[in-house]
Amino acid sequence: MQEKIRLTQFARHGGCAAKIGPDTLSRVLGRLPKFSDPDLIVGFETSDDAAVYKITDDVAVIQTLDFFTPVVDDPYTFGQVAATNALSDVYAMGGEPKIALNIVCFPGDLDPDILGEILRGGADKVREAGAVLVGGHSIQDDVPKYGLSVAGIVHPDRVYKNFGCKKGDVLILTKQLGSGIVNTAVKAQMASAEAEQEVIRVMTTLNRKAKEAAADFTVHACTDVTGFGLLGHCSEMADASRAVIEIGVEGIAFMHGAKEYAEMGLIPGGAYRNQEHVSGLLDAGEVGEVYVDLLSDPQTSGGLLFAVPENEAADMLRAFARADLGTEVSVVGRVLDDSADRPCIRLRDKVEVI
């Protein structure tokens, strides 16, 4: 019998931890020519999750693509995770996914049935999202990679941007943090079965329900928390909104084992790159080092981070509870200022919010 293939053995970095570091990216992208178009609602200047282009007064199209190397060993699960992650960019813009195309890199000498399972996992998630999968593109490569290009739609007036949070806003995150660290522990064969099950469940949960439950509320800013970690994505939001964001680390939901594994040193390299990137904006106060590690941990298929007015936050939390997201929702902090000369992120043990 053929030995069972462990997909993660092919990848130096798995999932969103494979992302090129934010410092390198901003240096390279800064040299590209600027594009402008009166109907382009969201371009790449603000490092948002996807492009949004207005077609009519009622419809804008969202275009995104996302792919990465294996983050789990099981091919079907890897397909699910990669597709869930790619679809998330559409939800993070407030949209509804409509069309998906596969992006595939796969070694010519690996069993094609493994690829079949990866694609089946992806297709099942596209179906669950209510979109259609209509083909794609594949090439031979030594390291397997999979993802989707997704087109979605949104009303031009209901586009969620990753900036625009206002003083007094409450920041709500719809999934628990820790997937980069827990996946590292799984790869090191040091994770508990409970932690492994939880990280897979979280990474394969679509952000669809969270986005739909948020529809009745005022959303000043939204992004999905992925490769740059909570701190990286918060710093983008703070910087572009000129905001001072205060995060209360003790109120944040983390995956089982994440804190323990971080203390053991099972931290992906991407977390340290993320820390370097935010160092100019970060005031870590007196919080323990482990929280800085957890908050900079690159998330694969992470949750949506919403900035909502304080008087709507409690109702939004109730709406998420009713929607039964299947993940842990937490209040991560609040916006102290939105016209700051020096935008920043302050970490505190506790933040009194609601």
Residue 6 or 127: the one with the smaller Cβ distance to other proteins is 6
Residue owning tokens 């084992």: 257
Contact predicate 16/85, CB 8 Å: yes
Identify the residue among 26, 45, 272, 280 touching other proteins (CB under 8 A).
272
Identify the residue among 73, 124, 196, 263 touching other proteins (CB under 8 A).
263
157 is annotated as contributing to ligand binding: no
Binding region for other proteins (CB under 8 A) out of 207-215, 269-277, 331-339, 342-350: 269-277
166 is annotated as contributing to ligand binding: no
- Token pair in block for residue 67: 């792919």
**Does residue 187 belong to the site contacting other proteins (CB under 8 A)?**
yes
89 is annotated as contributing to ligand binding: yes
Binding region for other proteins (CB under 8 A) out of 49-57, 86-94, 202-210, 261-269: 261-269
The binding track of 116-145 with respect to other proteins, each residue x by CB under 8 A or -, is ------------------------------
Sign of CA dihedral 210, 282, 67, 159: positive
Contact predicate 234/163, CB 8 Å: no
Contact predicate 14/300, CB 8 Å: yes
Backbone angles phi, psi at 187, to 5 degrees: -65, -35
Identify the residue among 80, 162, 179, 184 touching other proteins (CB under 8 A).
184
**Measured from the CB of residue 216, what is the shortest distance to other proteins in angstroms?**
43
Backbone angles phi, psi at 54, to 5 degrees: -80, 130
* Total residue length of the chain: 354
Q: Show Cβ contacts of residue 64 under 8 Å, excluding neighbours closer than 6 positions.
A: 49, 50, 51, 86, 89, 90, 93, 149, 150, 152
Strand boundaries in 31-89, DSSP class E: 40-42, 51-54, 60-68
**Does residue 267 belong to the site contacting other proteins (CB under 8 A)?**
yes
Which helix (H) or strand (E) element contains residue 132?
Answer: strand 132-140
**Does residue 264 belong to the site contacting other proteins (CB under 8 A)?**
yes
The question of whether 105 is a catalytic residue gets the answer no
19 is annotated as contributing to ligand binding: yes
Residue 9 or 56: the one with the smaller Cβ distance to other proteins is 9
Residue 38 or 265: the one with the smaller Cβ distance to other proteins is 265
- Token pair in block for residue 182: 């827990």
Alpha carbon of residue 157 to chain centroid = 23
CA distance 228 to 215: 26
Identify the residue among 110, 143, 190, 336 touching other proteins (CB under 8 A).
190
Residue 274 or 330: the one with the smaller Cβ distance to other proteins is 274
58 is annotated as contributing to ligand binding: no
**Does residue 12 belong to the site contacting other proteins (CB under 8 A)?**
yes
Which residues, listed in sequence order, are joined to residue 348 by a DSSP beta bridge? 248
**Does residue 73 belong to the site contacting other proteins (CB under 8 A)?**
no
CA distance 150 to 138: 16
**Does residue 56 belong to the site contacting other proteins (CB under 8 A)?**
no
**Does residue 185 belong to the site contacting other proteins (CB under 8 A)?**
yes
Size, binding site for other proteins by CB under 8 A = 18
Binding region for other proteins (CB under 8 A) out of 98-106, 136-144, 229-237, 258-266: 258-266
Residue owning tokens 């382009």: 40
Which residues, listed in sequence order, are joined to residue 149 by a DSSP beta bridge? 65, 101
Catalytic residue, chosen from 16, 165, 234, 344, is: 16
- Token pair in block for residue 344: 């920043």
Instruction: Please enumerate, by residue number, every residue annotated as part of a binding site for Mg(2+).
Output: 49, 89, 224
Catalytic residue numbers? 16
Footprint of other proteins on this chain (CB under 8 A)?
A: 12, 184-185, 187-190, 262-269, 271-273
